[in-house]
Chain A
Amino acid sequence: GESVGLHLPTLSVQEGDNSIINCAYSNSASDYFIWYKQESGKGPQFIIDIRSNMDKRQGQRVTVLLNKTVKHLSLQIAATQPGDSAVYFCAESTRDDKIIFGKGTRLHILP
């Protein structure tokens, strides 16, 4: 069915290290993928997106990698900071503006 999931519900990373959050999706027809960050008490906030004609996209301190062969998406955060603590969701869309969210990974930053 159409679903997006994440491999780990929680991830703990030392401050300053790089974080890698993974996501597997099941719908091969999905052509647009987004990563959202959700802090406590707030709505999801757009981080970065990627379309299916690309396999890598970089933003400020973040990189999204897309592997369509194995239907895998990852978010890399460089030099993780305390402000990166949040729940991260991957989401997918199939040309119709409907976005389907995965379950989320909570990122803990260790001092």
Chain B
Amino acid sequence: EAGVVQSPRYKIIEKKQPVAFWCNPISGHNTLYWYRQNLGQGPELLIRYENEEAVDDSQLPKDRFSAERLKGVDSTLKIQPAELGDSAVYLCASSSGLSGRVYEQFFGPGTRLTVL
């Protein structure tokens, strides 16, 4: 069974440019997460979806970040415009459970973003 798929794996852009990341979760997983991981730190949650609904986006910097999961499967995370401080690894994860219970989260390999 395929795991969580992310693309691209690496992205280098200049500041003020837009960038988008794509995630395909494990088949059948209702819940999808986007995390940001700075160098040497643990992942930090940006947004959580249950099916197509964003149920927790409290940590998403909404002035420049946006996300969507239109059909409740694939998801994209966008930054526009990117800033130097956005350089990080962006991780996508999915799980089979819904809110109220904690289920194991499966992570993708991440997209390493470098903003010059």
**How many residue-residue contacts, CB under 8 A, span A and B?**
60
Tell me, yes or no, whether B7 is within 8 Å of chain A by CB: no
A99→B94 CA distance, assembly (Å): 12
A44→B91 CA distance, assembly (Å): 9
Tell me, yes or no, whether B82 is within 8 Å of chain A by CB: no
A45→B73 CA distance, assembly (Å): 21
A6→B103 CA distance, assembly (Å): 23
From B48, B56, B103, B107, name the one whose CB has the most chain A CB atoms within 10 angstroms.
B107
User: Which size class do A's interface residues fall under?
Assistant: 20 to 34
**A95 & B102 in contact (Cβ 8 Å cutoff):** yes
Tell me, yes or no, whether B66 is within 8 Å of chain A by CB: no
Query: Number of contacting residues on B, CB 8 A?
Result: 27
A101→B43 CA distance, assembly (Å): 6
Q: In the complex, how many angstroms separate the beta carbon of B103 from the nearest chain A beta carbon?
A: 7
Tell me, yes or no, whether A91 is within 8 Å of chain B by CB: yes
Across-interface contacts of B102 in A (CB, < 8 A): 32, 93, 95-97, 99
Across-interface contacts of A32 in B (CB, < 8 A): 102
**A57-92: contact bitstring with B at CB < 8 Å (1 yes, 0 no)?**
000000000000000000000000000000001010
Interface residues of B in 63-104 (CB under 8 A from A): 91, 93, 95, 97-104
**A45 & B103 in contact (Cβ 8 Å cutoff):** no
Across-interface contacts of A4 in B (CB, < 8 A): 42
Q: In the complex, how many angstroms separate the beta carbon of A9 from the nearest chain B beta carbon?
A: 8
Across-interface contacts of A42 in B (CB, < 8 A): 107, 109-110
5 additional contacts (CB under 8 A) given A46-B106, A97-B100, A97-B102 = A4-B42, A43-B91, A43-B109, A44-B43, A99-B102
